[in-house]
Structure 1
Amino acid sequence: MAAVRQALAGWLASCVSSSSHIPGTIPRVAIALSGGRDSAVLLDAAASVADELGIHLVALHIHHGLSRQADIWQRFCAERAAALQVPFDARRVRLAERAGQGVEAAARQARYAALRELCQQHGATCLMTAHHADDQAETILLQLLRGTGLPGVAGMPEMDRPGRLAGVTLVRPLLNVSRAAIDAYAARRGLDWVEDASNQDPRFLRNALRHDVMPALARHAPGYRQTLARFARHAHQAQTLLDELGAQDLQAARRPDGTGLDHRQLLTLGEARLSNLLRYWVRVQGLRPASESRLADWQRQLRRTDGAAQVALPHDGRVMRLYRHRLYWEEASPTPTRQADTTATLRWHGQREWRLPNWRGTLIFAPMPPGSAVDAATDVPEALLSSAPLRAEPRSGGERLKRHPRQPSKTLKNLFQAEGVPVWQRAVPVVWLGSKILFVPRLGVDQRLLRDAAGQLEPHPGAWWRLAWHSLGD
């Protein structure tokens, strides 16, 4: 019992000192309360020492709707919190399962998102969960059996900041406390809790580890928890070094214009170092980790091309593309519908957006501040925009655009090639003003139209508007 209280007191004090709260107010710490034994012990122990430290608690429960007993669990949690005079709140969530993501992962993702929102709503800058030493050991063994890399076997940190909860410090104060010590606390305090029947189902690997493997380990290697925790710390240190190397290699490979990585620089790296860079790049993009087989396939494709070819590597709703030695990420999107008779018209009178769903994009009209410098490549006088209807049509072939006043017009195909616009980004509308081309996304305004209209607009052309194209695939 003393071990639990001491762990809680130390971490509660740490939460207060490390969190940011309004001076002169009492800090608030949230307790993630599932209703199980571990979280029941966490709430009881926290409530017993919070007043001594001048801390307010709030108990938060997430209702996943996965069990027929979920309503009963929520009522139990509310009653348990009320008995300890701790404010209580709950949130129901719906699971949005992604490809390659199971129910457990989807539930975890939804749970932490809801907990973050509840913490912000109640002004809690610290969230405590009831993970303990046996949970940590199970997690490490589970990740080893799944063949994950160092991030997986590094286990759970005691403090995760900013972690998965932006603006909220996630703390696991019982991570060095054994399940036996938690059982002893619950027995001495006469606590009750709810039981999730799924925790006894041996079909789940974690349950098999908990009920079959861990007791055997305890008999033959009583100190296995400490040994695995030490291994996790070493793995975490090794991963930290790999992340530092990945960050250095990523910076070295960045193109000067910041539009991606230089493919030629990547090819100077050895196999292990390139895999580490790609793995790190995926993570900083906020994407799910790539499997070992996928990383190996990426390496093969990147090394087999000289960079002039087009390579598309889909992953987690994004696409890593290689074009003209530039490697970059973009949103995955289907090829836009391009029919010969697809046409959209607009009578412009100050609209800020023109949505063009056939091209999965929007033409943006942004007013220029008075006196600002005019960019002939993107800016158009207001009087010209309103002089005739605008018409968006697909490319039919042979259209020409004059991008610079002192240079001849060129075909759109030649201009796209010269600008290095990938083929999959050329399916854009040609915007006409009457019978003349006004604007082509990714290329700019036709200077012939501005020249022809200059005599009518001078000497006071009035306001100017900047044209820009926003594509859902960018």
Structure 2
Amino acid sequence: MTPIAESPADRLVLEAVRVAFAALPASARVAVAFSGGVDSSVLLDAAVRVAGSSRCIAFHVHHGLSPNADAWLAHCEAFAREREVEFVVRYVDVSRDAGVSVEAAARDARYRALDALCAAHRIGWLWLAQHADDQAETVLLQLLRGAGLAGLAAMAPEFSPAGAAAARVRPLLHLLRAQIERYASARELRWIDDESNADTRYARNALRHQVTPALAVHFPGFRDALARTASHAASAQRLLDELARIDLDAVSRDDGSALSHDALIALDDDRALNLMRYWMRSQGFIAASSARLGDALRQLREVGEGGDGHRLRVDHAGHALRSYRGLVYWEAGDSSDPADETSLAAREISELVWQGQATWRLPQWRGTFVFEAVDALAVNAANATNAINAALNDTIPMSLLQQAPLRARSRNGGERMRTSDAPGARSRTLKNLFQERGIPAWKRDVPLLFLGDELLFVPLLGVNHAASHADVAPDEARVRIVWREDLLIA
């Protein structure tokens, strides 16, 4: 590659980019999150100068929040084209829900879009253009919010989010905004000025325009001091995470998806809360407030040993913390889910005349019955060898489903079924069967499927073998019934 002609204003930026490229495999491509502002414009320009356009791709996220968004897109595309860099845009919708700041919603949407673009283009490194001034502002914001160590650690130079396709790298994090702007001026770059950056209703903008200029006068080295604070906090957080990993190894059950209730509450409060924070991050949850976590631990201690806390419920990010049969775990759900079997809500009966439909949607239960056609001979062979669990292989003759209307009804209590067609098998109450299989009480609020007035199928338990199967040929076409709950995503 032809040596780069460097000016004194260039040198710091170019050296930072060289160091970042040196840490990657020789042929690796990087994606630059390219908004068109001065910071990302400098990062993209310097990356092309150091490694060439073939090793760079520019990702632009179009939020649609500004009337100038289309003009920004055109500018960014032209900027990338001038440098022969591949340019990709992703359009996103930003949540305007009450109680959610537009700034936070836009940031979340942007990172989701950038992660998706990295996955689609098989990019392993996403470069972000944050710098030392951004880091100082982040530390100040976290301090003012009363954040813990994880918050004070602010932005890491490199970070690999759980489940993300690419590591997030910040090559310019140690440089000042003024140093980046000097590079832009020396290179005569053109960039976008987002009008929202001047709106001091946003907390970060208020700090940038009203607080940090005063700090710079009285504490000229405040950026370096806050960067050290972030570094110290990150180091301390790593130690806390290591302790949490040790505790998680001792306390976790079911490959980390659940915790032992008794082992958790045996820890002191600080250690238990540290473990819960780490566990939630490992499950991909957003951070919970200290008040929310403290309330969860208090309820877990009130349940006592054994952990059968049917009424325990702590809602967070579309999930609910539960304790059952000695295990603590998160269940997808919303606040309408019953916390206890005794509080099951009666729902209106739904009816279907089955004529071969593949699905039957039941919104009141937030789920769907699925009717899957099954090869009768294959089922008979599987049952003969007992190779597959009978609860999963129970099937129903198609003709039986057409003998009477299907009805989906709520549990009333006292219903019975026979889960086996073996000689001598007896019918038992649904409550006993649920308990025997370890199904938590709050998951027992399921629609019972009746054929006319006869119980035919119960989600999580299977087919009622006491239902009449008279006059059914063994090789008749059959159906397997599956109950699928809606997926509630945090």
Unaligned runs of 5+ in 2: 1-9, 339-343
Is the 8 Å Cα contact of residues 379 and 464 (structure 1) preserved in structure 2?
A: no
Is the 8 Å Cα contact of residues 417 and 429 (structure 2) preserved in structure 1?
A: yes
Letter in 2 for 1:4: V
Is the 8 Å Cα contact of residues 58 and 80 (structure 2) preserved in structure 1?
A: yes
Letter in 1 for 2:197: N
Is the 8 Å Cα contact of residues 118 and 165 (structure 2) preserved in structure 1?
A: no
CA spacing shift, 1:245–1:390, aligned 2, 3 Å:
farther
What is the root-mean-square deviation in Å for CA atoms of aligned residues? 3.3
Deviations 1:62-108 (A, max 9, x none): 22222233233223223323333333333332102466531111111
Which residue in the other structure is 1:5 paired with? 14
Deviations 1:318-369 (A, max 9, x none): 11123344322112243599667613235365x6544333432233445475
Which residue in the other structure is 2:36 paired with? 35
Is the 8 Å Cα contact of residues 154 and 230 (structure 2) preserved in structure 1?
A: yes
Question: Counterparts of 1:181 and 1:473 in 2: how far apart (Å)?
Answer: 48
CA spacing shift, 1:379–1:234, aligned 2, 3 Å:
same
Which residue in the other structure is 1:426 paired with? 444
Letter in 2 for 1:329: W
Tell me the TM-score normalized by structure 2: 0.82
Query: Which of 466, 470, 473 is the aligned partner of 1:448?
Result: 466
Question: Counterparts of 2:416 and 2:299 in 1: how far apart (Å)?
Answer: 36
CA spacing shift, 1:265–1:364, aligned 2, 3 Å:
farther
Is the 8 Å Cα contact of residues 395 and 481 (structure 2) preserved in structure 1?
A: no
Which residue in the other structure is 2:414 paired with? 398
CA spacing shift, 1:159–1:402, aligned 2, 3 Å:
same
Question: Counterparts of 1:412 and 1:192 in 2: how far apart (Å)?
Answer: 70
Is the 8 Å Cα contact of residues 338 and 358 (structure 1) preserved in structure 2?
A: no
Alignment of 1:274-423 (within 5 A): 274-306=272-304, 307-309=307-309, 310-333=311-334, 334=336, 342-347=349-354, 349=356, 353-365=359-371, 367=374, 369=378, 371-372=381-382, 373=387, 375-383=389-397, 386=400, 388-389=403-404, 391-394=406-409, 395-404=411-420, 405=422, 406-423=424-441
Is the 8 Å Cα contact of residues 347 and 386 (structure 1) preserved in structure 2?
A: no
Which residue in the other structure is 1:182 paired with? 180
Letter in 2 for 1:3: L
- Cα displacement (A) at 1:256: 6.0
- Cα displacement (A) at 1:199: 2.2
Letter in 1 for 2:408: E
CA spacing shift, 1:165–1:313, aligned 2, 3 Å:
closer
CA spacing shift, 1:100–1:320, aligned 2, 3 Å:
farther
- What is the aligned-residue identity percentage? 44
Task: Give the 3-state SS of the residue equivalent to 2:369 in structure 1.
Answer: strand
Letter in 1 for 2:369: L
Is the 8 Å Cα contact of residues 131 and 174 (structure 1) preserved in structure 2?
A: yes
CA spacing shift, 1:70–1:445, aligned 2, 3 Å:
closer
Which residue in the other structure is 2:125 paired with? 126
Unaligned runs of 5+ in 1: 18-25
- Cα displacement (A) at 1:261: 2.7
Task: Give the 3-state SS of the residue equivalent to 1:408 in structure 2.
Answer: coil
Question: Counterparts of 1:60 and 1:381 in 2: how far apart (Å)?
Answer: 50
Is the 8 Å Cα contact of residues 153 and 235 (structure 1) preserved in structure 2?
A: yes
Task: Give the 3-state SS of the residue equivalent to 2:391 in structure 1.
Answer: coil
CA spacing shift, 1:457–1:259, aligned 2, 3 Å:
farther
Which residue in the other structure is 1:23 paired with? none
- Cα displacement (A) at 1:381: 4.5
Which residue in the other structure is 1:160 paired with? 159
Which residue in the other structure is 2:6 paired with? none
Letter in 2 for 1:292: S
Question: Counterparts of 2:269 and 2:192 in 1: how far apart (Å)?
Answer: 50
Q: For structure 1, which segment, 440-449 or 173-182, has the greater mean C-alpha deviation from structure 2 after superposition?
A: 440-449
Task: Give the 3-state SS of the residue equivalent to 1:287 in structure 2.
Answer: coil
CA spacing shift, 1:99–1:234, aligned 2, 3 Å:
farther
Task: Give the 3-state SS of the residue equivalent to 2:394 in structure 1.
Answer: strand
Which residue in the other structure is 2:4 paired with? none
Letter in 1 for 2:247: D
- Cα displacement (A) at 1:167: 1.9
CA spacing shift, 1:288–1:259, aligned 2, 3 Å:
closer
Task: Give the 3-state SS of the residue equivalent to 1:34 in structure 2.
Answer: coil
Letter in 1 for 2:228: R
Question: Counterparts of 1:177 and 1:473 in 2: how far apart (Å)?
Answer: 44
- Cα displacement (A) at 1:268: 0.6
Q: For structure 1, which segment, 54-63 or 275-284, has the greater mean C-alpha deviation from structure 2 after superposition?
A: 54-63
Is the 8 Å Cα contact of residues 407 and 451 (structure 2) preserved in structure 1?
A: no
Query: Which of 23, 33, 53 is the aligned partner of 1:14?
Result: 23
Question: Counterparts of 1:145 and 1:283 in 2: how far apart (Å)?
Answer: 23
Is the 8 Å Cα contact of residues 314 and 320 (structure 2) preserved in structure 1?
A: yes
Question: Counterparts of 1:203 and 1:120 in 2: how far apart (Å)?
Answer: 35
Question: Counterparts of 1:238 and 1:125 in 2: how far apart (Å)?
Answer: 28
Question: Counterparts of 1:207 and 1:376 in 2: how far apart (Å)?
Answer: 62
CA spacing shift, 1:422–1:49, aligned 2, 3 Å:
closer
Tell me the TM-score normalized by structure 1: 0.84
Question: Counterparts of 1:106 and 1:400 in 2: how far apart (Å)?
Answer: 49
Question: Counterparts of 1:270 and 1:236 in 2: how far apart (Å)?
Answer: 23
- Cα displacement (A) at 1:290: 0.8
- Cα displacement (A) at 1:175: 1.0
Question: Counterparts of 2:286 and 2:220 in 1: how far apart (Å)?
Answer: 36
- Cα displacement (A) at 1:294: 1.2
Letter in 1 for 2:434: F
Task: Give the 3-state SS of the residue equivalent to 2:67 in structure 1.
Answer: coil
Q: For structure 1, which segment, 109-118 or 389-398, has the greater mean C-alpha deviation from structure 2 after superposition?
A: 389-398
Query: Which of 460, 469, 474 is the aligned partner of 2:483?
Result: 469
Question: Counterparts of 1:384 and 1:194 in 2: how far apart (Å)?
Answer: 65
Is the 8 Å Cα contact of residues 362 and 469 (structure 1) preserved in structure 2?
A: yes
CA spacing shift, 1:348–1:3, aligned 2, 3 Å:
same
Q: Does 1:438 align with 2:456?
A: yes
